[in-house]
Chains A and B, each alone.
Chain A
Amino acid sequence: MPFLRIFLLRLLTTAITLAGVAVIVFFVIRVVPGNPIAMMLPPGATEADIARLSALYGLDKPLVAQFGIWIAGVVQGDFGTSITTRQPVLDLVLGRLPATLELSIMALVMACLLGGAAALTGTRYRGGRTEGAIDVANGMALSVPDFLWGLVLILLFGVLVPVFHISGRVTPSLDLPFATNFYLFESLIRLRFDLWADIVAHMFMPALALAIPLAAIIGQLLKQSLKETMNLDYVTLARTKGYGETRVILREALRNAALPTLTLVGVQFTFLIGGTVIIERLFSYEGLGNMAIDAVINRDLPLIQGIVILFAVIFTAVNLIVDLLYTVLNPRLRHG
């Protein structure tokens, strides 16, 4: 079965990639100056104390041995213990993951809506000033990274017209009855719309900052794709049936035009997820990215490794899902 073979090949390349990431991050951060143990202990600590704690974390062994120990642990699901918080890395990392996932997905949805709207409007009113204006806006959104948009949004809607919150996931004084860390999702399921509104008010700007560059890409690509599709014969035929132009774009052209956009959006989505590192910092949002920066500053080696591996796994998973989606959505591929 050819599908099985392709799938296994994908699995192999993915494994190699992840292994490569693991190796690189492991050895790169061991070159870091600054002893994390020394940073953790109070100033009066003796050499013996430092040595003992180092041994506890296995930092006194040769590098290759350390790597072997770590990998052995990883395979069994043990990613080591965080130096700064003394907690298992896996727990810490999985604890922060929902926040980043929710933020990324919200940003993705926003990007699709904004970009889609831009592309559709530009196609519906093509050739005029509307399309020109959309192109200019698109170009600007494309050229400026999420970091700058985040700052602009903080100024506009956090300071000038304070509509949204510019820090944190949720107002600190609120009492949260959640079982998981999926605040946004759970608040909906529990029908706690008051909490949901508060969470959205906190997430809106970081998500928007992340979304703007992706929205611009989607807008540009989809508009180009629509432009080509609108010239095809089946679209012309639809016009003779009596459908208005908007209907023609949405019914006939959109699905076919959207498909080629999908693969690029997948890759760009991984960039968006990477952007959460700085955006979370900017908005003091308690996600993986924010934790990652602290981990680096504190030289928390096991935590750094765990976070980087998790990001790599997420990126690979996204790529896999996009490829799967493409096969499912393209009728020609489905029936082979």
Chain B
Amino acid sequence: MDKSGAVDGRSMIRRRAGLRLWLSAGWLAVLCALALFAPWIAPKDPLAQDLFLGRLPPFWVQGAEPGYWLGTDSLGRDVLSRIIHGARVALAVALAAGTITCLVGASLGLMAGFLRGWVDMVISRLIDIWMAFPPVLFSILLIAVLGPGLGSIIIAIVVIDWTRFARVVRAEAMAQGAMDYVASARVAGRGRLGTMVREILPNVLPTIVVLLTLEMGIAVIVEAILSFVNLSISTDDPTWGGMIAEGRTSVHQAWWVLVFPLVTLFLTVLSFSQLGEGLKDRFDPVLR
């Protein structure tokens, strides 16, 4: 006969959720620290070029130079310092773009799902049209229009990804709106806006929070992709995507230029996503 028992499964999920919540939150906390204190933590100046120190390998490989822990790129810039400074752009984009996309998308979704009628029709059509655009292409287009820069990237992400929140929140709002507690609120004389905010929002909040962490991870990726295609920020400040683009071209001669920013990016995106999953498990009333 089968081995599993329902009781065992639940506690295992809880343990796993706890572990991944702490691991991902931990990594993100480290990143925040790196970003905040970059100028003091980074061992070298991220912009300092020295062609005599070009393509030095990481410290455990033959031929490494002390002080350049993760090696240097083709222009002699310290990989580790560049990664630390790259965290600043990444997190700035994640927080700003993530929260604004969340606000815009969730609001529109809430309105569409709760107010229904022509509001819903217009917003739904807009969502359909938006979903017919390939997101990466759309973002590249927008950056071309808006010009490079941190602000442009944030706007681009908001413009492209608001549908992610809008769809989900709209569905939840529609489901919640049909429930009894909303009807009783209306009967009690609450205006539509009041009902929307006070009754529906709290119930939709867990979903929104989970999507928010997901969106932050996506924002980091979008910035990386744009840097990769050379359309990100305009200054010489290092970005993970830019480092990856350089690393890609010299991958056979200096693999570390690609590997370390890639690993950092990988862990960051993974952490945002797992943070969201962990939060979702926490919020799930079935598992409590």
Contacts and interface: CB of A to CB of B under 8 A. Distances in A.
Q: When A and B assemble into the complex, do they touch directly, with CB atoms less than 8 Å apart?
A: yes
A148 B224 CA distance: 10
Interface string A8-51: 00000100111011001100110111100000000000000000
Contact of B244 (A24, A25, A151, A275): A151
Contact of A17 (B12, B132, B252): B132
Given A21-B133, A159-B251, A270-B131, A296 B140 contact: yes
A143 B259 contact: no
Contacts of A31: 145
Which of the four size classes fits the interface of chain B?
35 or more
Contacts of B282: none
A139 B274 contact: yes
B141 A28 contact: yes
Interface in B102-119: none
Contact of A21 (B129, B147, B277): B129
A140 interface: yes
Contacts of B258: 151, 155
Contact of B136 (A17, A21, A142, A275): A275
Contact of B269 (A143, A158, A304, A312): A143
B127 to A, nearest CB: 10
Interface of A: 13, 16-18, 20-21, 24-25, 28-29, 31-34, 126-128, 132, 139-140, 142-145, 147-148, 151-152, 154-155, 158-159, 270-271, 273-278, 281-282, 289, 292-293, 296-297, 299, 304, 307-308, 311-312, 315-316
26 contacts: A20-B128, A21-B129, A25-B133, A32-B145, A127-B9, A143-B269, A144-B266, A147-B228, A148-B262, A151-B262, A152-B266, A155-B259, A271-B135, A275-B136, A277-B134, A277-B137, A277-B140, A278-B228, A281-B229, A282-B248, A296-B137, A296-B140, A304-B141, A311-B132, A311-B134, A312-B132
B136 A277 contact: yes
B252 A24 contact: no
Contacts, number: 138
A82 to B, nearest CB: 16
Contacts of B274: 139, 143
Contacts of B265: 148
B137 A17 contact: no
- Which of B9, B133, B147, B228 has the most chain A CB atoms closer than 10 A to its own CB? B133
B124 to A, nearest CB: 10
Contact of B133 (A32, A132, A278, A311): A311
Contacts of A292: 134, 137, 140
B179 to A, nearest CB: 24
Given A16-B125, A143-B274, A277-B137, A316 B255 contact: no
A179 B262 CA distance: 40
Interface in B230-288: 244, 248, 251-252, 255, 258-259, 262, 265-266, 269-270, 273-274, 277
A220 B144 CA distance: 37
B252 to A, nearest CB: 6
Given A33-B147, A127-B3, A159 B255 contact: yes
Contacts of A143: 217, 269-270, 273-274, 277
A311 B133 CA distance: 7
B62 interface: no
B251 A274 contact: no
A325 B131 CA distance: 21
Contacts of A275: 134, 136
